[in-house]
Amino acid sequence: MDHATRLQYLEAMGIDVWVSRHQPTVEHVVDASENVGWAEHSEAHRSHHEAEGASTNHDRRASLNSVQPVESSHTYEQSWHDLQQAVANCRACSLCETRTQTVFGVGSHYANWMLIGEAPGQNEDLQGEPFVGRAGQLLNEMLRAIGLKREEVFIANILKCRPPNNRDPQTGEVAACHDFLQRQIQLLKPKIILAVGRIAAQNLLNTQQPLAKLRGVRHQLEQVPLVVVHHPAYLLRSLTEKAKAWDDLQFALAVYQSLEQ
């Protein structure tokens, strides 16, 4: 990918100024022989699509962005439907009394990438979908930066109901939702999980380590590689930290690519 196109992706994430200041460091990581960068990765697949046509695009997504379930398609989708109904009817904790609706998750049931956030906020509670509003738009741009679309991944939260006033999840609430999230992981069988934000990462990894210690490390969850990334809502509040999101994305893509080798 040429330099101008790369800058367009980074500008969409709001870190174009950072790129100009630190470009040599980024180029070193991107061009390292053992780690093909996100830009070259996404451009290669886009060129492949243009050369081979729509049928080849289907094959590419089957290998890059999707995994095939063991069960028949009908049985598999029924399992997702049953789980979503179980979440919608859940009254295991007091959050059921204050929610507008549950927020099950959104995206492809055949995705290789699974993103797990903390809990629904006000907008998510109203719309029934995780990561909407400005934070959701930034998350979409972060995904686009590594060659993915929102509909090609699966996005969920640790909690399926909004905590009042967007407070942090409580231990009992996390425990009440644990089986739902675990079942989502078991059904999806993702190749990589992104823990989005400190609270999600700490709960998923059962640790109190700060985000700085958790980022840039390949963790494991349910035998699936897990990478911790900054929460887009935090990035919107701390504009100077967006450069770190670029590091997170490069690392996550490097981990994913290592699984394909």
**pLDDT, tens only, 54-96:** 444 444 344 445 554 455 789 999 999 999 999 999 999 999 9
**Among 189, 192, 185, which Cα is nearest to 257's?**
192
Instruction: Kindly give the confidence (pLDDT) of every residue in the chain, 261 residues in length, as a single tens digit, with 9 standing for 90 and above.
Output: 555 555 555 565 655 444 433 333 333 333 333 333 333 433 443 444 344 444 444 443 444 455 544 557 899 999 999 999 999 999 999 999 999 999 999 999 999 999 999 999 999 999 999 999 999 999 999 999 999 999 999 999 999 999 999 999 999 999 999 999 999 999 999 999 999 999 999 999 999 999 999 999 999 998 999 999 999 999 999 988 888 898 999 999 999 999 987
pLDDT digits (tens, 9 = 90+) for 205-226: 999 999 999 999 999 998 999 9
Q: Scan for tokens 């942090």, then name that residue.
A: 168
Based on the structure, what is the number of domains in the chain?
Answer: 1
Write down the pLDDT at residue 260.
Answer: 81
Q: Scan for tokens 């670029």, then name that residue.
A: 246
Q: What is the dihedral of CA 183, 184, 186, 187, to 10 degrees?
A: 110
Q: Among the residues of 65-197, which ranges form H helices?
A: 73-88, 122-127, 133-145, 171-188
- Give residue 166's domain range: 3-260
Write down the pLDDT at residue 28.
Answer: 31
Q: Among the residues of 103-241, which ranges form H helices?
A: 122-127, 133-145, 171-188, 198-205, 211-214, 232-237
Write down the pLDDT at residue 55.
Answer: 43
**Among 87, 129, 127, which Cα is nearest to 107's?**
129
Contact 71, 37 (CB under 8 A): no
What CATH number does the domain containing 172 carry?
Answer: 3.40.470.10
